[in-house]
Each structure stands twice: as C-alpha cells, then as structure tokens.
C-alpha cells in the first residue's frame, strides 16, 4: 500500500528580490489549499539557517514526505535544500524547487498581480509533479587515482606538477617533441619583463624529474572512453627515431640533405629533416620529421653515438585515469590571403609572433628586428592592433594579450635600438593588470606614439610601406610611410580543439573555445564530470593567468583523486530491456556516449539491446524522448511527472484542456 502523500510548501521572500513583485503571503495561502499540501509557509530567506531549521522541524512535526521550495534557481540552492531534506530523514529526491525569482519576479517587475498569479501557477505545477516523485539513490563510482593532462604548455606543466605534488601519478601528453608550448618561443614576459626561460625552464625540469609524472612527447590521444573516475585513454606515440645516446653534437643536421621552414621560428629560418626543435628544447634530443625524412641514412652514417634508429615504429599505449585536464592551448590568428593589411609572409609585414622570435637572443635574427626584403634594420615600425580580434568580419572577441604584447615588444626595441621610430595604431588600449599601465606610460615616455586610428589598408610603395588609417580623433584619413609593419594578431582555438571536443563531448563557447560548465560557479570544470580546462583552450590569457588557472584545475582534480569513490546524483535514464526492440536510436543520439549495446538471449536467439552506463549518464533525457517503444525512462523526469505538470498548468483554463489531451497523445 502506497504511503499517503504529505507535502510542505515554502515560499521565500529572498529579501525583496521576490517579495517586491510577488505577494508571498497570498501565494503561501493559495498553496495551502492545494491537494495533499499539509503545511504552507513563507520565509524571509529560506536558504538561511532559520529557514532551513523550520523545514527540518516541519518534516518531523507534520510527517512530511514531500517538500516544495519556491525561491531562486535550483542551480544555486537546489543542493542546499536537498541536504536539508536528507538531514531530516527524507530522501532528497522527494524535493522540488520552483524558481519564482528569475522566472517570475525579475521578469515581471511591472506587473505584481500577474507575477503573483504566475507564482501560484508554478507552485501548483510543482505540487502536482512531486506527487509522482519516487525515492532515488545516488550512484557511488570507484575512482582510479591517476590523472591525465593533455598539453605540455605552461598550463599543462603547472597542472601536472601540482597534482603530482599532491601525491598522485600523472600522465602528461604533448604532441610536440618538446615541452613548454608557445611560451618557450618568447623572450620575455610582459608582466615584469622577466625572461621566459627563467620561469618556464625550471618548471619543465621539475616536471621531467618528478617521480610521479610520466611524460609523453610526440604523442597524441587517439581515443577516450569511460566516465568520471574511470577514463580509458588510447595513446599513439610518434617515434623520435633518436635514442637517449644523442649528445646533440649537430653532425646529423649538417649531413641531412632535406630542408624545410622552421615552424618554431615562425618560418623565419630553415631546418633539416633531423633537427633540434629549439636551442633550449627539453628533452634536449634531436628529432626526425617523419613527413620529410626520405630514409637516405646520411645521419645514421655520421652519428658518432649510434643514436639514430630509423626503424623505430609507432607505439600504441592504453592508460586508465580518474580525471582529465585539457590544456591543449590555442594558436595565433593567421591573416587570410588578400587581407587588407597586405600580409603574405614574404614582405616586410610581420605578425607579432614572428617579431617575438626575431627579438629572442637565440632566435633567427639574434634579437634584431630585420626586414625580409634587404635584411637591414628598419628606421620606423608601425604596430597595428586588433588584427583578427574585435572584428565582426573575422573574430569578434578580444584576445586580451595583444595590447600588452605590443607594448612589451615596443619597449624591447626602444631599449635596444632607441633610434627606431615606433607608432601604434589602435581602437583603444586594453590593459588588465595594475603594472600594465606603468608599462604603457613608460612606452610613451620613451617615444612610442599611440594613435587611435582604424587602419584601412597597408600598401607597398617604393620600397617602403604606406599605412592608411582613419583617425578617430580628427575624423580624417591619415597616411604614414614606415619600413616595417607588425600585426598584433589575436588568438584562435587550436586545430586540435574540435577533435578533443568531439572525443570528450565538450561544448564550444560562442567564440569557438572550449566552454566551462558555468562561468561563475564552475569556471574550471566542463559539463563532463571529471574533465577540467586549463590555459588558452578556454579563452585567451597570459602566462600568469594560465598558471593560476592550472593550479585551480589541479585542485579540482585532487578533490576527486583523494576519494576511493565519488557520489553522483541519481538523475539518469534507465532502459527496460523487455520493451527495447534493439533499434539502438538511443545509442546514436546519446551526446555523452553513455548507452552501449548488449547481446541478450530472447526466445533462444541473440538480440541486441541497449543498456545505460550509469556513471556516464547525465540524465539529459534525449534517449527517452527518442525511444518510440517507451523503453527508456528518465528518472526524475518521468512521463507521469511531466504530464502532471502540464495538466496543472492548464487547470485554470478549461478551454485549453484540448491542448492537454494533445500533449498526452
């Protein structure tokens, strides 16, 4: 015999957030008249201690077995009231929350009577729905106490190190044959003009030498399956074809007949098919580009250490981890062919990353900004801001680092070569940190000219470059001839981003970067439990912010890895295999790969039937909506619950009963 339903309803004032628009006393009185409602009260703040205590006392005094709280968003305080019910001995899934703040009060502030009626409708729907709620049990999932960090830039390095320092093994994977990401190609940080190598190289060495960190370079993640606490990862390691005997003598490079542009130097220098990725590369070993190498064997013959093994083959490995951090970075925007800035990668128009490599003392020009056309030092340089950023036709977002990067490069040039004239064309200068303003003032004091102008075109003219721009101050088009132009290109998502998003089911933000679960409440986590974000893959940021975020993501991982098992909510889908016909539409439609197929013996024959992996299921209900056989039920969102809400919504409008019938049909 089913237990009598006894419901308690609590209407929250939320200070004046709700009460200034909704007549809470009238709503509470109305709620007391609804079927099976034993008690209905109003609270100033239901989430505060007095409100929570009252709910607990009422559960015991009135023997309540259902609780409805009409307050704010369930995302904000749903867990709070579920804990209140649980502490009072009531199953937390016998609780419903009605959002009469965002959905009612805040959107109907000019119509108090209408807002009050709507609040009554919302509560009536919840009261009808909750009568069909059933006790559910949270899932307990065992945790594999290891972590995977994808990406060996500064964010990935810091994250791996923090997790390992917490006492848990870490696998660090990077597709490049060296660690450090984009940062190792830079000369100085723009926060305090400190050398990047003084910050990044010690970090790399700590990671390399840590006993709990296993580093994979030249490695890509092929596939990821599983769920929080139990991810199965397939790796493919591209052979370096150079073993640990290599002492980086360089004889192999001299013997190699094949040349190509050096990607690390942004195409400003050349390398061989066998090469050292960069002068401070870690691991400090030569590497053979399998796409270029023709297997001639010249490097093998000349190597005195017998360190070259051309027959090395790809290695495939599988690892199991409990949590994953995605730190794959981003990449500089590349102006398309025929762009208005005149960039073609061959003339005297450079991108900021190219100039960065030139200014590096160990770069292709040994720290000097040189023209491509004649190899001479320029007498004047124009920087153009927001190339590929803040442009509706290209990328609408601000890349955040470009303004300060330009100021840094301008200061370096002015310090080394004071006679070079520098001008900066900008929409406005955006500086995010307190010491950045000091750098901006210093650049102006050193003679850098900042012009609020929109560049319309850059054209080559008699061996110089003419910059034509619309000056926002005087409202006229200006023209200036310079020897070199530098484009402050923004950041766009990595070429690998979509592959990892598809693999891990991570959604994209409007600008194409990976989207966090919530910008305020879960800024480091994704919608997929156990998967965190760090660094530029989420949005553009500088080295300091990337390291800061990486440590935060590591802390989130440590919170998971510190437990033998973790608790997941009970809102998942279940499949009745007796009703299932094996059409497997749910398998194809599941956005979280949480449904698999089993072979079940039915009437002496093997049949395919769908089954939910409970730990992977997010309870989205896509499978239940798609199943024509009604074999799938989304717990917490059953047909009975939904139809009860619909009926209650239309109860005050008899003429709309036909709509309810259509919905049921």
Q: What is the rounded CA–CA span in Å between residue 317 and residue 238?
A: 11
pLDDT at 598: 85
- 487 forms beta bridges with 351, 384
pLDDT above 80 for 213: yes
Q: What is the pLDDT of the chain when averaged over all its residues?
A: 92
pLDDT at 45: 93
Share of the chain above pLDDT 70, in %: 98
What is the tens place of the pLDDT at every residue in 71-111?
A: 999 988 999 999 999 999 999 999 999 999 999 999 999 99
- 508 forms beta bridges with 514
With tokens 């036709």, the residue in question is 393
Q: What is the rounded CA–CA span in Å between residue 407 and residue 425?
A: 12
What is the tens place of the pLDDT at every residue in 521-577?
A: 899 999 888 999 999 999 999 999 999 999 999 999 999 999 999 888 888 999 998
Q: How many residues does the chain have?
A: 665
List the beta strands (DSSP E) in 23-65: 37-43
pLDDT at 661: 46
pLDDT above 90 for 463: no
Max Cα-Cα span within the chain: 95
pLDDT at 1: 39
pLDDT at 546: 95
Q: What is the rounded CA–CA span in Å between residue 627 and residue 641?
A: 18
- 7 forms beta bridges with 37, 66
Q: Give Cβ neighbours of residue 556 (< 8 Å, ≥ 6 apart).
A: 524, 525, 532
With tokens 């237990």, the residue in question is 3
pLDDT above 90 for 607: no
What is the tens place of the pLDDT at every residue in 431-445?
A: 988 789 999 999 999
CA 115 to each of CA 73, 97, 119, 587: distance values in angstroms, whole numbers, following the listed order: 16, 17, 6, 42
Other Cβ atoms closer than 10 A to 624: 21
At residue 383, the 3 state secondary structure works out as strand
With tokens 């153009």, the residue in question is 384
Q: What is the rounded CA–CA span in Å between residue 321 and residue 180?
A: 23
Going by pLDDT thresholds of 50, 70 and 90, the confidence category of residue 305 is very high
Where do the domains of the chain lie, and which CATH numbers do they carry? Answer: 7-130 (3.40.50), 147-238+314-329+495-561 (3.50.50.60), 331-492 (3.50.50.60), 573-635 (3.30.70.20)
pLDDT above 70 for 656: no
Where is average pLDDT lowest: 220-224, 307-311, 568-572? 568-572
Q: What is the rounded CA–CA span in Å between residue 439 and residue 431?
A: 10
Q: Do 490 and 312 form a contact (C-beta atoms < 8 A)? A: no
Helix, strand, coil in percent for the chain, rounding step 5: 30, 25, 45
pLDDT above 60 for 247: yes
- CA dihedral (543, 547, 553, 558) in degrees, to 10, reads 160
Other Cβ atoms closer than 10 A to 80: 16
Q: Do 40 and 128 form a contact (C-beta atoms < 8 A)? A: no
- 477 forms beta bridges with 470
What is the tens place of the pLDDT at every residue in 344-401?
A: 988 999 999 999 999 999 999 999 999 999 999 999 999 999 998 998 888 899 999 9
Tokens of 621: 């209900």
pLDDT above 80 for 602: no
Tokens of 412: 């370096």
Best-predicted range by mean pLDDT among 135-144, 158-167, 637-646?
158-167
Triad 600, 619, 59: Cα angle to 5°: 115
**DSSP letters spanning 342-390:** ---SSSSEEEHHHHHHHHSTTSTTTT----TTT-PPPSEEEEEEEETSS
Going by pLDDT thresholds of 50, 70 and 90, the confidence category of residue 22 is very high
Q: What is the rounded CA–CA span in Å between residue 208 and residue 185?
A: 19
Going by pLDDT thresholds of 50, 70 and 90, the confidence category of residue 664 is very low
């Amino acid at each position: 015999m089913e237990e009598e339903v006894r419901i308690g309803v609590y209407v929250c004032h939320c200070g004046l957030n709700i009460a200034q628009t909704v007549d809470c006393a009238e709503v509470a009185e109305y709620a007391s008249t609804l079927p099976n409602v034993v008690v209905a009260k109003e609270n100033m703040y239901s989430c505060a201690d007095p409100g929570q205590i009252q709910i607990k006392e009422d559960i015991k005094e009135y023997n309540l077995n259902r609780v409805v709280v009409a307050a704010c968003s369930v995302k904000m305080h749903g867990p709070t009231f579920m804990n209140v019910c649980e502490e009072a001995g009531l199953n937390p899934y016998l609780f419903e929350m009605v959002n009469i703040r965002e959905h009612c009060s805040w959107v109907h502030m000019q119509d108090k009577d209408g807002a009050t009626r709507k609040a009554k409708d919302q509560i009536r729907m919840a009261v009808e729905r909750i009568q069909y709620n059933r006790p559910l049990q949270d899932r307990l999932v065992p945790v594999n106490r290891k972590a995977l960090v994808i990406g060996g830039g500064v964010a990935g390095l810091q994250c791996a190190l923090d997790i390992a320092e917490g006492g848990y093994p870490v696998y660090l994977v990077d597709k490049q044959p060296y660690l450090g990401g984009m940062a190792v190609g830079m000369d100085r940080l723009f926060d305090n003009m400190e050398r990047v190598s003084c910050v990044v190289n010690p970090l790399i060495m700590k990671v390399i030498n840590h006993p709990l960190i296993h580093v994979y370079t030249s490695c890509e993640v092929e596939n990821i399956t599983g769920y929080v606490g139990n991810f199965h990862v397939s790796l493919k390691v591209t052979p370096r074809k150079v073993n640990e005997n290599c002492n980086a003598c360089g004889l192999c490079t001299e013997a190699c007949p094949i040349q190509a542009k050096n990607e690390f130097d942004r195409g400003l220098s050349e390398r061989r098919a066998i090469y050292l990725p960069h002068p401070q590369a870690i691991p400090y070993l030569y590497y053979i580009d399998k796409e270029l190498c023709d297997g001639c064997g010249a490097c093998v013959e000349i190597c005195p250490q017998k360190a070259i093994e051309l027959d090395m083959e790809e290695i495939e490995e599988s690892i199991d981890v409990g949590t994953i951090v995605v730190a794959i970075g981003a990449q500089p925007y590349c102006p398309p062919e025929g762009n208005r800035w005149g960039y073609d990668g061959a003339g005297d128009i450079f991108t900021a990353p190219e100039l960065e490599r030139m200014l590096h003392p160990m770069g292709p020009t040994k720290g000097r900004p040189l023209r491509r056309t004649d190899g001479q030092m320029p007498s004047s340089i124009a920087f153009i801001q927001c190339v590929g950023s803040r442009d509706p036709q290209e990328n609408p977002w601000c890349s955040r680092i470009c303004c300060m990067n330009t100021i840094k490069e301008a200061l370096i040039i002015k310090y080394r070569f004071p006679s070079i004239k520098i001008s900066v064309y900008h929409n406005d200068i955006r500086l995010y940190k307190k010491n950045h303003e000091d750098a901006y003032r210093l650049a102006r004091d050193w003679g850098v000219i900042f012009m609020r102008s929109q560049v319309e075109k850059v054209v080559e003219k008699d061996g110089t470059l003419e910059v034509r721009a619309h000056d926002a101050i005087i409202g006229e088009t200006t023209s200036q001839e310079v020897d070199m132009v530098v484009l402050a290109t923004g950041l766009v998502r990595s070429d690998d981003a979509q592959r990892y998003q598809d693999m891990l089911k991570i959604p994209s933000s409007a600008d194409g970067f990976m989207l966090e679960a919530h910008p305020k409440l879960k800024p480091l986590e994704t919608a997929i439990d156990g998967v965190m974000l760090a660094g530029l893959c989420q949005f553009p940021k500088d080295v300091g912010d990337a390291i800061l975020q990486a440590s935060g993501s590591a802390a989130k991982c440590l919170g998971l890895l510190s437990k033998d098992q973790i608790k997941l909510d009970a809102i998942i889908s279940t499949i009745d295999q007796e009703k299932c016909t094996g059409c497997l539409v749910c398998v194809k439609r599941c956005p979280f790969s949480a449904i698999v197929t089993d072979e079940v013996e039915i009437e002496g024959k093997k049949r395919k039937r769908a089954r939910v992996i409970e730990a992977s299921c997010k309870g989205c209900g896509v499978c239940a909506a798609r199943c024509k056989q009604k074999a799938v039920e989304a717990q917490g969102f059953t047909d009975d619950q939904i139809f009860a809400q619909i009926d209650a919504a239309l109860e005050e409008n008899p003429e709309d009963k036909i709509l309810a019938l259509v919905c049921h049909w």
